[in-house]
Amino acid sequence: MSQPVDYAFLHGGGQGGWVWDETIAALDAQTGGGFGRALALDAPGCGRKRGRATDGIDNEAIAAELIADIEAAGLGDVVLVGHSQAGMVLPFMVEQRPSLFRRIVYVTCSAPPAGRTTLSMMGASLHGENPDEVGWPVDPKTHSVAERYPLMFCNDMDPAQTEAFLGKLGHDMWPALTYSASNWRYDHLDAVPASYVVCLRDGSLPVPWQETFATRLKAERRVRIDAGHQVMNTRPHALAEVLRLEALAG
């Protein structure tokens, strides 16, 4: 990398900034500590902000708070990286402060259509059963959330990784309003270049849906990694290499 680059990372649902530890360590190892600065953000109620009251906090307020966190850390010309549910907040961050970001990298991010909530988009069907729903890897009517998690998040993890990850999952909770929101806006996203990382073995968001989301998020570059939904944990060096290259993309 010709010059240091600042990165800010935003986690997905049920997770916190801790989920990026392996990828940040991989960036450090690949560059001998010279990649720049990295900030693992926490949505209200998650990670270092766990336990905080989040009633009344919507996506716009989350975006404003995260922008303030980035600015307080002194980062600029930032590569903003988001995972999964983060795809529903990153567009608001771009809308509020496009000049802060040099590129957005969506890592298997979700992006509901305007007028639809994320919960209605997920639906109650199996993957591939209903073309209007993302669906689930097993029937949600007969399998609990706990039974679904290993298939959604851990299908490319070994038993030790699975146990460790599931032990952390679900202690972090995004504000409730994020799940009832439907005021999605994407037309402004041309203001900042974007890339989308498609995870080919994703047990949560099937590849065709990831491709749909990438188009909706106006990602002009797409990169594919042979990994599950938690690529930052199972293939951190592969993802770090992608992030380094995407930071240099024109």
Annotation: CATH topology of 7-248: Rossmann fold (3.40.50)
Q: Is the model's pTM score more than 0.85? A: yes
Looking only at the bridges linking them, the beta strands covering 221-225 and 194-199 are parallel
Does 34 have pLDDT greater than 90?
no
- Tell me the two tokens of residue 250: 């024109």
Give the strand order in the sheet containing 38-41: 38-41, 7-10, 78-83, 101-107, 194-199, 221-225
How confident is the prediction for the chain on average, in pLDDT?
96
Does 143 have pLDDT greater than 80?
yes
Q: Cα-Cα-Cα-Cα dihedral of 116, 121, 124, 129, to 10°?
A: 130
Domain boundaries, the chain: 7-248
For 15, half-sphere exposure in the C-beta direction (CA atoms, 13 angstrom radius) is: 25
- Tell me the two tokens of residue 104: 């957005």
pLDDT score at 1:
43
Mean per-residue pLDDT, 171-197? 97
Q: Between the CA of residue 4 and those of 10, 15, 62, 74, what are the distances in Å?
A: 20, 28, 27, 14
Which has the closest alpha carbon to 109: 223, 246, 248? Answer: 223
165 — phi, psi (to 5°)? -70, -45
- Tell me the two tokens of residue 181: 């929101």
pLDDT score at 33:
87
Which has the closest alpha carbon to 124: 115, 116, 114, 134? Answer: 134
pLDDT above 90 as % of the chain: 95
